[in-house]
Chains A and B, each alone.
Chain A
Amino acid sequence: MDFFHSVRLDEDKCRGCINCIKRCPTEAIRVRNGKARISPELCIDCGECIRICPQRAKYAHRDKLEDFGHFKYKIALPAPALYGQFNNLDDTNYILTALKKIGFDDVYEVARGAEIVSDATRKWLKENGKGKTIISSACPAVVRLIRVRYPKLIPNVLPMNPPMVEAAIQARKIAKEKTGLEDSDIGVFFITPCPAKITAIKNPICNEVSYINGAFSIKDIYPSLLKKMSREEEPEDINNAGLIGVGWANSGGEAAGVLKERYLAADGIENVMQVLAEIENEKLPDLEFVELNACPGGCVGGPLTVENPYVAKARIQRLRKYLPVSKNRLETDEIPDHMMWEKPLTATHSLKLADNVFDAMELMTKVYEIQALLPGLDCGTCGAPSCNAMAKDIAKGKAELTDCIFRMKQEMSDETAAEELIPAPFRDEE
């Protein structure tokens, strides 16, 4: 398996604090020898560690605006979340025109792709959604979370490509007709709110090839766009998405576009995990559609955005106000093949302690024995997010008992000397 991840660590900046380890929803990070380490099997690229890192050592690997590369024709695919980043805007054309001014030859809104995906989803649910709760696959962090932590729910995941892929396919088609260029001369770039989408572009889970050549973050592109946006000039008439497509930026937007009554939309990684657990326990049997976004507020809350998610949401509501419901739909009666996943989503089984129940139970028994020796404080000073995670690390030979400062203290021979050497938070009461 190929473990490309956008979320990475700048070793030079990391000072080995333990802020990130507890924030990681899959417990993928450990601090060892003063540096954080991210386990590639467990990382879902949600970017929670990027948000919390005080040293800014966690970052999203992304393309740089300078690297437009060799493409003869360049197309920008702005995520709908981009629209929420600018103040006092009542027309998205200002943003879309600015994208052309900074060097793109054309712009195709991901919101348009979103409307086609909404249409296809409605159709797909009619034929395949009976008696089953279908979970959206638009947020790649959620898809990866499901495969790592909730593999039982894989059959519930909508096996459809997200709006950015549909947008890329449409944009390429238009560009080829317009210019007569080859695919290899056309560069398609996503303007992304998050590292999860970057990973999905560079390393698609359910497709063989990526239709997108690169990704620029909203944060990186924001200052250059601002410079090129002016009220004096009338913008080009580029926008071509309705309120359903633009609404995908916010949590609940995708679900609303499905036009089902019994839906749920949850955002923020902790809420998402709770909802997934509830679905797994069959506590939410009546739901037809579940939209889950790893980020607070939806993609407007992506780690690579500029504005506060709720401010961005309010702005998008304003932008949506006078839009028609939808401007894009499927052009065929059938859902075209390219919209569906090429390969099925598979589980990674990284939660399992061992390949068979017997070995796993043996290891688990060892884990409990070790855990009984740990103080149960989940303080994180050992570099693991909890005493249980630490006990597992020790059982697997990845850490030592004395990496726990409380154990260390017990092992020091001279009690009083130990008391003096031990830092105040870990000393016994006087």
Chain B
Amino acid sequence: MSIKLHFDVSGDDFTRAGEASGKIKNTLKELGFNPETVRNVAIAMYEAEINLVIHAGGGEIDVEISPEAVTAVFKDEGPGIADVEKAMQEGFSTAPDNVRNLGFGAGMGLPNIKRYSDEMDIKSTVGVGTVMTIKVLNKQ
């Protein structure tokens, strides 16, 4: 048994960034998932969604919710990540100044996703785009 959700994330409207992860979180609450699982999913999904908007000009999210786990695939056709290992390091960021003023760009997004998820996979090709898969197990 599973529930699938799909979101198109626009790269044009920064003020709407974070809406999809907010909806995922509410859905999990309604389903009665363990609060810790809800928190882990909410944080990991938020970071990944913001990255879609800031770094990739938008993209799409496919979420699959099962009683055992929540899996989300973030797909974009943005610039791609040249060195994934480097991008994963705390503090590494190429975020532009305008979003830094809003408090983004600490280079903590990807490390936080790693911390709050159980599995994380990034496939990225420069000039083609990035596909990131995040899995969070449901703690019982």
> Interface on A for B, CB 8 Å cutoff?
151-152, 277, 280-282, 349, 351-358, 360-362, 364-365, 368
Tell me whether B29 is interfacial, beta carbon within 8 Å: yes
Cross-chain contact A151 with B30 (CB below 8 angstroms):
no
In the complex, A151→B22 CA distance in Å? 16
Contact residue among B3, B22, B32, B43 (Cβ-Cβ distance under 8 Å from A356): B32
Which chain A residues lie closer than 8 Å to B35 at the CB level?
151-152
- A362 touching B1 in the complex, CB below 8 Å, given contacts A151-B35, A281-B39: yes
Cross-chain contact A368 with B32 (CB below 8 angstroms):
no
Give 1 or 0 for each of B120-140: 1 = CB within 8 Å of chain A CB: 000000000000000000100
Tell me whether B33 is interfacial, beta carbon within 8 Å: yes
Cross-chain contact A281 with B3 (CB below 8 angstroms):
no
Cross-chain contact A368 with B3 (CB below 8 angstroms):
yes
Between-chain CB contacts (< 8 Å), 23 pairs: A151-B35, A152-B38, A152-B39, A281-B25, A281-B43, A281-B46, A351-B29, A352-B29, A352-B31, A353-B30, A353-B31, A354-B32, A355-B32, A356-B32, A357-B33, A358-B1, A360-B31, A361-B1, A361-B2, A361-B3, A361-B65, A364-B27, A364-B30
How far in angstroms is the closest Cβ of chain B from A325?
A: 34
- A353 touching B32 in the complex, CB below 8 Å, given contacts A277-B22, A358-B1, A361-B3: yes
In the complex, A367→B93 CA distance in Å? 41
Which chain A residues lie closer than 8 Å to B29 at the CB level?
351-352
Residue from the set B1, B22, B32, B39 with the largest chain A CB neighbour count within 10 Å: B32
How far in angstroms is the closest Cβ of chain B from A271?
A: 16
Within 8 A of A (CB), among B21-56: 22, 25, 27, 29-33, 35, 38-39, 42-43, 46
Within 8 A of A (CB), among B102-124: none
Which chain B residues lie closer than 8 Å to A365 at the CB level?
1, 3
The 5 nearest A-B residue pairs measured at CB: A352-B32, A152-B35, A360-B31, A357-B67, A360-B32
In the complex, A151→B38 CA distance in Å? 12
How far in angstroms is the closest Cβ of chain A from B22?
A: 7
Which chain B residues lie closer than 8 Å to A361 at the CB level?
1-3, 31, 65-67
Which chain A residues lie closer than 8 Å to B22 at the CB level?
277
Which chain B residues lie closer than 8 Å to A280 at the CB level?
39, 42
Which chain B residues lie closer than 8 Å to A152 at the CB level?
35, 38-39
Cross-chain contact A282 with B32 (CB below 8 angstroms):
no
Interface majority SS (helix, strand, loop, mixed), chain A: helix
B interface bracket (residues with beta carbon within 8 Å of A): 20 to 34
Within 8 A of A (CB), among B42-88: 42-43, 46, 65-67
In the complex, A423→B3 CA distance in Å? 37
Which chain A residues lie closer than 8 Å to B65 at the CB level?
361
In the complex, A277→B21 CA distance in Å? 12
Cross-chain contact A360 with B30 (CB below 8 angstroms):
yes
Which chain A residues lie closer than 8 Å to B30 at the CB level?
351-353, 360, 364
In the complex, A397→B32 CA distance in Å? 20
Which chain B residues lie closer than 8 Å to A282 at the CB level?
39, 43
Cross-chain contact B32 with A281 (CB below 8 angstroms):
no
In the complex, A354→B89 CA distance in Å? 41
Whose C-beta in chain B lies nearest to the C-beta of A152?
A: B35
In the complex, A419→B93 CA distance in Å? 57
Contact residue among B27, B39, B43, B67 (Cβ-Cβ distance under 8 Å from A358): B67
Which chain B residues lie closer than 8 Å to A277 at the CB level?
22
Whose C-beta in chain A lies nearest to the C-beta of B112?
A: A282
Which chain A residues lie closer than 8 Å to B46 at the CB level?
281
In the complex, A31→B87 CA distance in Å? 52
In the complex, A152→B29 CA distance in Å? 10
In the complex, A360→B27 CA distance in Å? 10
Residue from the set B31, B46, B65, B66 with the largest chain A CB neighbour count within 10 Å: B31
Whose C-beta in chain B lies nearest to the C-beta of A362?
A: B1
In the complex, A93→B31 CA distance in Å? 54
Which chain B residues lie closer than 8 Å to A151 at the CB level?
35
Cross-chain contact B32 with A357 (CB below 8 angstroms):
yes
Which chain B residues lie closer than 8 Å to A356 at the CB level?
32
Residue from the set A356, A360, A364 with the largest chain B CB neighbour count within 10 Å: A360
How far in angstroms is the closest Cβ of chain B from A422?
A: 32
Which chain B residues lie closer than 8 Å to A358 at the CB level?
1, 67
Within 8 A of A (CB), among B1-32: 1-3, 22, 25, 27, 29-32
How far in angstroms is the closest Cβ of chain A from B72?
A: 16
Whose C-beta in chain A lies nearest to the C-beta of B46?
A: A281
Whose C-beta in chain A lies nearest to the C-beta of B4?
A: A368
Cross-chain contact B31 with A364 (CB below 8 angstroms):
yes
Which chain A residues lie closer than 8 Å to B27 at the CB level?
364
In the complex, A362→B30 CA distance in Å? 12
In the complex, A356→B22 CA distance in Å? 22
Whose C-beta in chain A lies nearest to the C-beta of B18?
A: A281
In the complex, A356→B67 CA distance in Å? 10
In the complex, A377→B33 CA distance in Å? 29
Since A152-B35, A360-B30 are in contact, a sample of 8 more A-B pairs with Cβ atoms closer than 8 Å, ordered by chain A residue number, is A280-B39, A281-B25, A281-B43, A356-B32, A357-B31, A357-B33, A357-B67, A360-B32
